[in-house]
Amino acid sequence: MERGAPFSHYQLPKSISELNLDQHSNNPTPMTSSVVVAGAGDKNNGIVVQQQPPCVAREQDQYMPIANVIRIMRKTLPSHAKISDDAKETIQECVSEYISFVTGEANERCQREQRKTITAEDILWAMSKLGFDNYVDPLTVFINRYREIETDRGSALRGEPPSLRQTYGGNGIGFHGPSHGLPPPGPYGYGMLDQSMVMGGGRYYQNGSSGQDESSVGGGSSSSINGMPAFDHYGQYK
């Protein structure tokens, strides 16, 4: 069941659109095409004007950037091949249709299973159902490697707890200089709580917050870990 022409719910100002384009500045191919169109074409200008689609959505946002599309096309074609402007625009439009086509099928599966979030598995399932079986195996390898890299980043964050422990232990001390009269494990117990929160969040975001007002060397970290519940009460009284 093919869906109709997509209509836009999001109308962003041009500045944001330009920012989106600037984010992908690694774009050696200029937008102006230097390919001479063979024969009489509807558009002889080098400027790409998207007038064929009937929908009112923003022209710039409903298609993939044509420079990116052209770069991928050139990777497929031999070096001596040329591409007419009409062919570029047609494939550019086909890509948007492909995204909407696969997304619609994946979303139907989500709704059938009463879920709200479209996942990568839904996309893979949709492509298999729609006949793009050849794409599924390479994409499965791709997404698995992507997840491995994400997992490695998470484990890298877990390697930082020792330094974070000392840092947050230092935050617990509100006095200048170590005072031997106070129980040392108390502030470290408080630091442990903050540290666990940071560790949990580290899987998704790199929390760069580190309060290093005082750099104090804490030698009783292991004992504070064991006595966290007990010494937490002492932390409240300080």
201-230 residues in contact with other proteins (CB under 8 A) are: 204
Instruction: Check binding of 23 to other proteins (CB under 8 A).
Output: yes
Element (H, E) at 160: none
For residues 83 and 169, give the distance between their C-alpha atoms in angstroms, rounded to a whole number.
63
For residues 26 and 165, give the distance between their C-alpha atoms in angstroms, rounded to a whole number.
40
Instruction: Check binding of 18 to other proteins (CB under 8 A).
Output: no
Instruction: Check binding of 177 to other proteins (CB under 8 A).
Output: no
Stretch that binds other proteins, among 23-31, 162-170, 212-220, 230-238 (CB under 8 A): 23-31
Instruction: Check binding of 175 to other proteins (CB under 8 A).
Output: no
Stretch that binds other proteins, among 140-148, 162-170, 185-193, 212-220 (CB under 8 A): 140-148
- Residue 108 burial by CB count (10 A; 0-12/13-18/19+): exposed, middle or buried? middle
Least gap, CB of 15 to other proteins (angstroms): 14
Instruction: Check binding of 80 to other proteins (CB under 8 A).
Output: yes
Binding to other proteins (CB under 8 A) within 88-127 occurs at: 89-91, 93-104, 106-107, 111, 116-125, 127
Work out which of 138, 177, 208, 229 binds other proteins, going by CB under 8 A. Answer: 138
Q: Quick one: 199 or 228, whose CB is closer to other proteins?
A: 199
Q: Are 192 and 224 in contact (CB under 8 A)?
A: yes
Structure tokens at 45: 């200008």
Work out which of 18, 30, 32, 86 binds other proteins, going by CB under 8 A. Answer: 86
Binding to other proteins (CB under 8 A) within 34-53 occurs at: 35, 38-42, 52
- Residue 89 burial by CB count (10 A; 0-12/13-18/19+): exposed, middle or buried? buried
Q: What is the signed CA dihedral for 152, 155, 160, 165, rounded to 10 degrees?
A: 160
Instruction: Check binding of 156 to other proteins (CB under 8 A).
Output: no
Stretch that binds other proteins, among 6-14, 179-187, 188-196, 230-238 (CB under 8 A): 6-14
Applying CB under 8 A, the site for other proteins has a residue count of 90
For residues 8 and 16, give the distance between their C-alpha atoms in angstroms, rounded to a whole number.
16
Q: Quick one: 118 or 228, whose CB is closer to other proteins?
A: 118
Q: Quick one: 130 or 228, whose CB is closer to other proteins?
A: 130
Residue that is written with structure tokens 């159902």 in the block: 129
Q: For residue 164, how many C-alpha atoms fall within 13 Å in the half-sphere facing its CB?
A: 20
Q: Are 220 and 172 in contact (CB under 8 A)?
A: no
